[in-house]
Homo-oligomer: A and B are copies of this chain.
Amino acid sequence: MPERHRRTVRDLRRGNRATLLRRLYFEGPLSRQELAAHTGLSSASISNVTAELLADGLLEEAGSVGSDGGRPRTLLRIPPGAGSLIGVDVGETRIRVELFDISMTELARSVHPLKDGGHGDVTHVVRLIADGLAAVCGADVQRGPLLGIGVGVPGIVAEDPAGDGAVVHAQTVGWDAVPLESLLRSTAQLSSSTPLFVSNGAKTLGQAEMWFGAGRGARDAVIALIGSGVGASVITDGSAYGGAAQGAGEWGHTTMQLRGRRCRCGARGCLEAYVGAEAVLERWREAGGGRAPGADEESALAALLASEDPAAAEVLAETAEYLGAGIADLVNLFNPERIVLAGWAGLQLGARLLPAVREATAAYALRYPAARATIELGRLGTDAVTVGAATLPLNRFLTTGGAPQGPGG
């Protein structure tokens, strides 16, 4: 790669556009004055750049606010119609496609259920996604130009060395090096200039909580995602939001008990084998707990939480200890200021077990990082994977300053 780092004087303008856009996006309407103070740019430059952005339709004036006796400040904001975004959630049981405006208000959605093992037929999955895209794009709603598409998937996402875009490795659903990006581009006939991002669903949900949920404002945070499986999303130095260096997080397959319970990944003693919803229910069954026939995991877990059975209490206490210790690992490794427990099972378990989890974390983590970290529940519910996925092209939009630069190179 011959090129690196910024170069020409033009990048300055791009960078400043991006800075202003990002600030305006997250900190609501601001006056030029405040922008100058926050960004350190001179007021002259603010005028120039905002004039450009206004001309591009990326900004609009939004009333004004008095100033002790002087000319009132004109507030600026990004109009919701400045663009639209699509987020896709390739979940364990369904595929959801949602269309958002730039303020992440949902404009349309399309959901396809997916049978167990339905992931095996990749072509079918891709077709479902493409249908969903077509459906939301065809929806009769007012919206700006499409800024891009984000897709959240299970497993690990890597870049194809042959330049074929994102490739997905998802051991648990049987995907081995699936070139999802190129498949989707051709199946959905996407223009090559449409930004398309593929990322791990847990990371994606993490970004949603970081930007709009419980992680908002934190610099270093970890989003722990517990569903049937377990994942985590690590955000370090999230200052200015999208500057965030995102770490992956197959946290669920971290060893908590050497030679312990068999995990569906093949190894033994993984965290997921203890605190994943599937594993918790399995452990309850082993302890003699019942599961209403035909009940899905979600209601079965609710039943466990509601049970008065001492065996259930024991299972839950152990779950809290494992979860706390698992979180302690993250605390020790990353020293985050905030930990957000999310995912459907995480929210269910957390509502009841949070105090016990906090206690276990304090017991297993080192004192100093433990004192710094707070543990909270996620605020966005389970459906935020699409929001997080849509966040990917949104981040690109904010980072490039809405520049009309095709991703050809």
Contact = CB atoms under 8 A, between A and B. Distances in A.
A254 B369 contact: no
Interface in A229-256: 232, 234, 236-237, 239-240, 245, 247-251, 253-256
Interface in A1-15: 2-9, 11-12, 15
A232 B267 CA distance: 23
A69 to B, nearest CB: 24
Interface in A31-52: 37-41
Copies of this subunit: 2
Contacts of A40: 2-4, 7
B257 A39 contact: no
A254 B328 CA distance: 7
A269 B256 CA distance: 9
A174 to B, nearest CB: 12
A363 interface: yes
Contacts of A332: 250-251, 253-254
Interface residues of A, number: 62
Q: Chain A interface mostly helix, strand, loop or mixed?
A: mixed
A325 B39 contact: no
B9 A9 contact: yes
Interface of A: 2-9, 11-12, 15-16, 19, 37-41, 155-156, 158, 169, 171, 232, 234, 236-237, 239-240, 245, 247-251, 253-258, 265, 267-269, 321-322, 325-326, 328-329, 332-335, 363-369
Given A237-B245, A256-B257, 19 more contacts: A4-B39, A4-B240, A156-B335, A156-B369, A158-B368, A169-B367, A169-B368, A236-B247, A250-B332, A250-B366, A250-B369, A253-B328, A254-B329, A254-B332, A255-B256, A265-B366, A267-B364, A267-B365, A267-B366
